A and B are shown apart, each in its own frame.
Chain A
Amino acid sequence: MTLRDKPATMRDASLEHLSVSGPGAISPSYTAIAQYGGRELQPNRGIPLNLDWIAAVRVNTSAVERRAQTLVTRRTVKKDWQAAWLLRAITCMDLTTLSGDDTDERVRRLCAKARQPIQQELAQKLGVESLGITVAVVCVYHTFVETARRALEGSGIRVAAVSTGFPAGLSPLQERVNEIRRSVEAGADEIDVVITRAHVFGARWQALYDEISTFKNACGPAHLKVILGTGDLQTLRNVARASYVAMMAGADFIKTSTGKEAVNATLPVGLVMVRAIREYAQETGMAVGFKPAGGIRTAKQALEWLVLMKEELGTPWMKADLFRFGASGMLGDIERQLEHHATGRYSADYRHPIA
């Protein structure tokens, strides 16, 4: 065996490698969008289904849980660093509303909040007005894509639509594909699709691959975010296998859950998916993004997820290009923490504008 001559160095120390591109701005697809282990990574174009790879998946649940538990006790950020990280968390947010009682007005209100997630006064106190902090994306049902697109015009904030019979994903394939097309036509920049979980339970990897490939084609220029439904898949091995198939089929992001499952984004699940992304990057030279969604409500959780990304993948995965939070309630808590940072006093939620 031989070791590589050059030590692999993480790039996060040098500023040149980090663009201050506005939140939500996605790099053109022909350039490298990330590095891992000193290697430049391209956007994901997918690869033919590799069943050997799926068969070789090994995930030890206890070991994953231990890493997830200790990861967040090994790292912490304090003071100005914490404020910076929380601001970064905001810029990685897919601010989401997916309720039966959503209305156009409700969506417009959400978009207004997306444009100005923290009060101007607070931004001044923190000295970060120049960053023009906004969330990355507003995520809605197809019905509200048009409303959101208009409300966000000129902000650089992208519009995502949940699609393909969300959240169950069990409507006929053609309907699901048409749903994607309609959303893209309506101006959605990103499409969050759900997979047929039954394909995973039945180990029908070809069927799963074909399904996601079809979605990818239907997306055209829009980014495809594939929701695995990890709460339904249950076992971490299933999560890992589904992650690989989704990436092979061309997913731009893999996403934990719908937010409608009994258990949604957990750190162990996230760790397994992030490791799959890393393995895929090393084997193919292509970078896939990650989106945990559901159950993320606090600033503390936001920091934990960012730590996970930094430790397992590095700083390129701490930007909206490759990392998103699917959340609705988290923003309020982050605002309170930032206020505390600026004033030294603990804040109350009514002091911050709601979405």
Chain B
Amino acid sequence: MSIVEKFITMEYGPAPEDPREALAWLDVHQRRFGHFINGEWRAPAAGTYFDTADPSTGETLATVAQGSVEDVDRAVKAARGALPAWQALTPHARARYLYALARQVQKHSRWLAVLETLDNGKPIRESRDIDIPLVARHFYHHAGWAQILEQEFPGYVACGVVGQIIPWNFPLLMLAWKIAPALGTGNTVVLKPAEFTPLTALAFAQICQEIELPPGVVNIVTGDGSTGEALAKHPDVAKVAFTGSSEVGRAIRKATAESHKKLSLELGGKSPFIIFEDADLDGAVEGLVDGIWFNQGQVCCAGSRLLMQESIAEKLLRKIQDRMNTLRIGPPLDKAIDIGAIVARVQLERIQRLVDQGVAEGAMCWQPSIPVPSRGWYFPPTLLSNVHPSSVVAQQEIFGPVLAAMAFRTPREAVELANNTVYGLAACVWSESINVALHVAAQLKAGVVWVNCTNLFDAACGFGGYRESGFGREGGREGLLEYLEPAWFKQAGRMHATPPAITQPPEAAGDFSAPPIDRTVKLYIGGKQARPDSGYSMAVRAADGRVLGEAPLGNRKDIRNAVEAARKAEAWGKATAHNRAQVLFYIAENLSQRGEEIAVRLATVVGRKQAESEVRLGIERIFSYAAWADKFDGAVHNPPFRNVALAMKEPIGTVGVLCPSDEPLLGFLSLVMPAICVGNTVIAIPSEKYPLITGDLYQVLDTSDLPGGVVNIITGRATELLKTLAEHDDVDAIWSFTDEASAAAAKMLSVGNLKQVFTNEGRAIDWFDAKQGEGRWFLDHAVQIKNIWVPYGE
């Protein structure tokens, strides 16, 4: 075709990025890769390999090692061996290594981008302009954290060997999100890249060699799900970080439940993309392009549910269709392509199946008439309208370039629809009214809310989900905490099953001139004293075996009622921090008023000295959290864009708390107070040893203006109650602070809705020592951070 014809048609023509350098690198390795263990390439122990293909052609790019249990063991051993020397380095020395990684990534940016596109099928524009620059940014940012770690996280130490399992949608970027914070905090790493996309991780291994990172600090083991399973289960792995499907996330939660491994999960999403009638509609449509047609829609935070205000729905759909007509789908190495290839045939089939199902359920399917390559795994951009919340395409993550559109009438309905999902990863809000946008953003259940923008990421801003989108954050200060533990906690011994020796003989309470008036302790639900559903009570005995009284025997239904009451009391989380502080101070005041009598009764079980100490320190502890209530602030981040990213600390929601047995009063207060001071509501199972404390507690709470339902107390057999709580899908977090078995049970039983689990791992905590028993460690677990990105400019 001549220039004349091109002058007439004004078409784009091909603009391919040259893949020769990347292919030459594969050839240097004879297109066959072993694992990267202890700084060397190692053939797989079992000698098995598998192919990785170019999704745009289906052709094999290279053969990589299938990691076995033995390979994983070798890698973990290498990581463990490297740990002492790595941790002995100064923070500055580790910062230098991370800086070198950042620089090396930049120096090899095009090689990495091309390799990523070859292996994954994403457009070269995205790997070149988004993925790789963010990789470098992540290492830079964490080189900084490594440098100032000791000043910023005093008293915290690294977990040890970290096992990391990453997905195929952003292969090198997810590697960076995992490895940079792990190394920066002094851990060593075994990382398993996704089966479909192992090549850039192997290229990164070479980069580690090039910068002479000490052998064993980073190990890369390739393989499939079984390799990941071996890694997650390895006994010497202290922390597991996973990004991927909710299904695998659940399996890992279960597999690690009976260990003390720290766990962070970044899972799926069905993120709402809300457009109000006062939005810049053209801007919002471009936002959608960046939201759902970015990376072929294979993005966990893709804006896959379009919620549009009814008044503009028709106009908006027309604009979306017009825009879809100008999308270009084709060879991902072409520099003028918007949508590349789907990573694998199995994913392509899954997308088609879900779309077919959506259509069968009544959705209208629209696809632009643009050319789609016949070879390779491509799926055209797709708009599904006439979708209802009950449609499968509105509920399930499709992980493809498919947008499901629904209309709403009012901001309230927008929020309701947006939150009508088991996920909670991200959300977009488009409105030119800052009032509407921030009001809605505050109500969305999502770890990231983008106002008038989409899919912006930065190393300084934590990323991660609410609900079944997982727990833990990547990026920022909160991301680092995932790889750190308090030093005292790491060294804490196992909790003893036997109660501590009581030094003084228990004393009788009250006066004996007349029989005491019977004291009936009840459950405390929704601010009211309630008889147990079972109608049974259990005897509570003093240290000397004497029966002190009876506590109600709570059961499943009492837990159910308590959870309902706690959910109804959610307004507590929206009360002002000052208001919550006032209530807490008042609780302390009222406890102080009754302190002596409570101590006298408590002394019958724990002895006078401890009882007095629990009351005295309990009052202090409440004061501490009253103090924290209006000081545990969020942050404003400075990502490299013209915007403010507001890191809001939000309560997790409804928290089930299993209180320590041996410190009936102080243990209860040490857990319940941090939970409620930031706005959570609580269902507490008090000390099994002395559940009668409930009667004292609710009298104090009742007189302190604490709204009913914020704290609910259910006595009974702790193990049974814990089971019901952990399995309850309307409970958002479980805190277990008794024995090891309870900690494991809490983790194992909470997989249904992937609760956040915070436990003592069965270790002994000295609640009488404020360094252990109170402070940020508890508060950090009581909140989840929502980052609200607000660009500005006129």
Residues of A within 8 A of B (CB): 1-4, 7-10, 12-13, 15, 18, 20, 37, 58-67, 70, 73-81, 83-85, 87-88, 126-128, 130-131, 235-237, 275, 282, 306, 310-311, 315, 318
Contacts of A306 in B (CB 8 A): 10
What are 18 A-B contacts defined by CB distance under 8 Å?
A1-B317, A7-B369, A62-B792, A63-B283, A63-B453, A63-B791, A64-B280, A65-B793, A73-B129, A74-B336, A81-B6, A84-B6, A84-B10, A85-B6, A87-B3, A237-B794, A306-B10, A310-B10
Contacts of B430 in A (CB 8 A): 60
* Contact among B1, B278, B364 with A80 in the assembled complex (CB-CB below 8 Å): B1
Considering residues A12, A65, A79, A84, which has the most beta carbons from chain B within 10 angstroms of its beta carbon?
A84
Considering residues A64, A76, A81, A87, which has the most beta carbons from chain B within 10 angstroms of its beta carbon?
A81
Known: A3-B385, A63-B453, A282-B318. 6 other contacts (CB 8 A): A9-B325, A13-B9, A75-B336, A80-B3, A83-B6, A84-B6
Given contacts A79-B13, A127-B4, contact A37 B322 (CB under 8 A): yes
* Contact among A13, A63, A315 with B280 in the assembled complex (CB-CB below 8 Å): A63
For B268-282 the 0/1 string (1 means CB < 8 A from A) is: 000000000011111
* Contact among A2, A88, A235, A236 with B7 in the assembled complex (CB-CB below 8 Å): A88
Determine the distance from Cα of A325 to Cα of B174 in the docked complex, in whole angstroms: 44
Determine the distance from Cα of A351 to Cα of B768 in the docked complex, in whole angstroms: 87
Could you tell me if A74 and B281 are in contact, using CB atoms closer than 8 angstroms?
no
Given contacts A7-B321, A61-B794, A237-B794, contact A127 B452 (CB under 8 A): no
Chain B 724-767 residues near chain A, CB threshold 8 A: none
Contacts of A4 in B (CB 8 A): 318, 321
Q: In the assembled complex, how far is the CB of residue B336 from the closest CB belonging to chain A, in whole angstroms?
A: 5
* Contact among B8, B125, B317, B642 with A18 in the assembled complex (CB-CB below 8 Å): B8
Determine the distance from Cα of A211 to Cα of B729 in the docked complex, in whole angstroms: 66
Given contacts A62-B642, A67-B286, contact A130 B4 (CB under 8 A): yes
Could you tell me if A18 and B4 are in contact, using CB atoms closer than 8 angstroms?
no
Contacts of A85 in B (CB 8 A): 6, 10
Q: In the assembled complex, how far is the CB of residue B328 from the closest CB belonging to chain A, in whole angstroms?
A: 8
Contacts of B1 in A (CB 8 A): 80
User: Which of chain A's residues has its CB closest to B406's CB?
Assistant: A1
Could you tell me if A58 and B338 are in contact, using CB atoms closer than 8 angstroms?
no
Q: B12 at the A/B interface (Cβ < 8 Å)?
A: yes
* Contact among A8, A59, A60, A128 with B321 in the assembled complex (CB-CB below 8 Å): A8
Could you tell me if B793 and A62 are in contact, using CB atoms closer than 8 angstroms?
yes
Determine the distance from Cα of A237 to Cα of B12 in the docked complex, in whole angstroms: 32
Could you tell me if A66 and B12 are in contact, using CB atoms closer than 8 angstroms?
no
Q: How many residues of B contact A (CB 8 A)?
A: 56
Could you tell me if B7 and A131 are in contact, using CB atoms closer than 8 angstroms?
yes
Could you tell me if A81 and B11 are in contact, using CB atoms closer than 8 angstroms?
yes
Could you tell me if B283 and A1 are in contact, using CB atoms closer than 8 angstroms?
no
Determine the distance from Cα of A1 to Cα of B430 in the docked complex, in whole angstroms: 20
Given contacts A18-B9, A66-B286, A131-B4, contact A76 B15 (CB under 8 A): yes
Could you tell me if B8 and A64 are in contact, using CB atoms closer than 8 angstroms?
no
Could you tell me if B325 and A10 are in contact, using CB atoms closer than 8 angstroms?
yes
Could you tell me if A60 and B452 are in contact, using CB atoms closer than 8 angstroms?
yes
Determine the distance from Cα of A8 to Cα of B9 in the docked complex, in whole angstroms: 19
Could you tell me if B283 and A75 are in contact, using CB atoms closer than 8 angstroms?
no
Q: In the assembled complex, how far is the CB of residue B485 from the closest CB belonging to chain A, in whole angstroms?
A: 39
* Contact among A58, A126, A237 with B279 in the assembled complex (CB-CB below 8 Å): A58
Q: In the assembled complex, how far is the CB of residue A355 from the closest CB belonging to chain B, in whole angstroms?
A: 22
Contacts of A64 in B (CB 8 A): 280, 283
Q: B651 at the A/B interface (Cβ < 8 Å)?
A: no
Could you tell me if A62 and B8 are in contact, using CB atoms closer than 8 angstroms?
no
* Contact among A66, A73, A282 with B125 in the assembled complex (CB-CB below 8 Å): A73
User: Which of chain A's residues has its CB closest to B792's CB?
Assistant: A62
Could you tell me if A3 and B6 are in contact, using CB atoms closer than 8 angstroms?
no
Could you tell me if A77 and B322 are in contact, using CB atoms closer than 8 angstroms?
no
Give 10 nearest A-B pairs by CB, closest first: A63-B283, A81-B13, A84-B6, A62-B791, A60-B280, A61-B793, A84-B7, A60-B283, A58-B280, A1-B313
Q: In the assembled complex, how far is the CB of residue B449 from the closest CB belonging to chain A, in whole angstroms?
A: 15
Determine the distance from Cα of A76 to Cα of B326 in the docked complex, in whole angstroms: 14
Chain B 464-502 residues near chain A, CB threshold 8 A: none
Q: In the assembled complex, how far is the CB of residue B134 from the closest CB belonging to chain A, in whole angstroms?
A: 15
User: Which of chain B's residues has its CB closest to A236's CB?
Assistant: B794
Q: In the assembled complex, how far is the CB of residue B189 from the closest CB belonging to chain A, in whole angstroms?
A: 33
Given contacts A3-B385, A84-B7, contact A59 B280 (CB under 8 A): yes
User: Which of chain B's residues has its CB closest to A63's CB?
Assistant: B283
Could you tell me if B11 and A12 are in contact, using CB atoms closer than 8 angstroms?
yes
Q: In the assembled complex, how far is the CB of residue B408 from the closest CB belonging to chain A, in whole angstroms?
A: 12
Q: In the assembled complex, how far is the CB of residue A283 from the closest CB belonging to chain B, in whole angstroms?
A: 10
Q: B503 at the A/B interface (Cβ < 8 Å)?
A: no
Given contacts A73-B129, A79-B13, contact A128 B3 (CB under 8 A): yes
Could you tell me if A67 and B10 are in contact, using CB atoms closer than 8 angstroms?
no
Q: In the assembled complex, how far is the CB of residue B163 from the closest CB belonging to chain A, in whole angstroms?
A: 36
Q: B14 at the A/B interface (Cβ < 8 Å)?
A: yes
Contacts of A66 in B (CB 8 A): 286, 290, 453
Contacts of A77 in B (CB 8 A): 12-13, 15, 336
* Contact among B4, B368, B432 with A128 in the assembled complex (CB-CB below 8 Å): B4
Q: In the assembled complex, how far is the CB of residue B508 from the closest CB belonging to chain A, in whole angstroms?
A: 72
Contacts of A7 in B (CB 8 A): 321, 325, 366-369
Determine the distance from Cα of A67 to Cα of B12 in the docked complex, in whole angstroms: 19
Could you tell me if B6 and A80 are in contact, using CB atoms closer than 8 angstroms?
yes
Could you tell me if A127 and B10 are in contact, using CB atoms closer than 8 angstroms?
no
Chain B 312-335 residues near chain A, CB threshold 8 A: 313-314, 317-318, 321-322, 325-326, 335
Determine the distance from Cα of A149 to Cα of B284 in the docked complex, in whole angstroms: 46
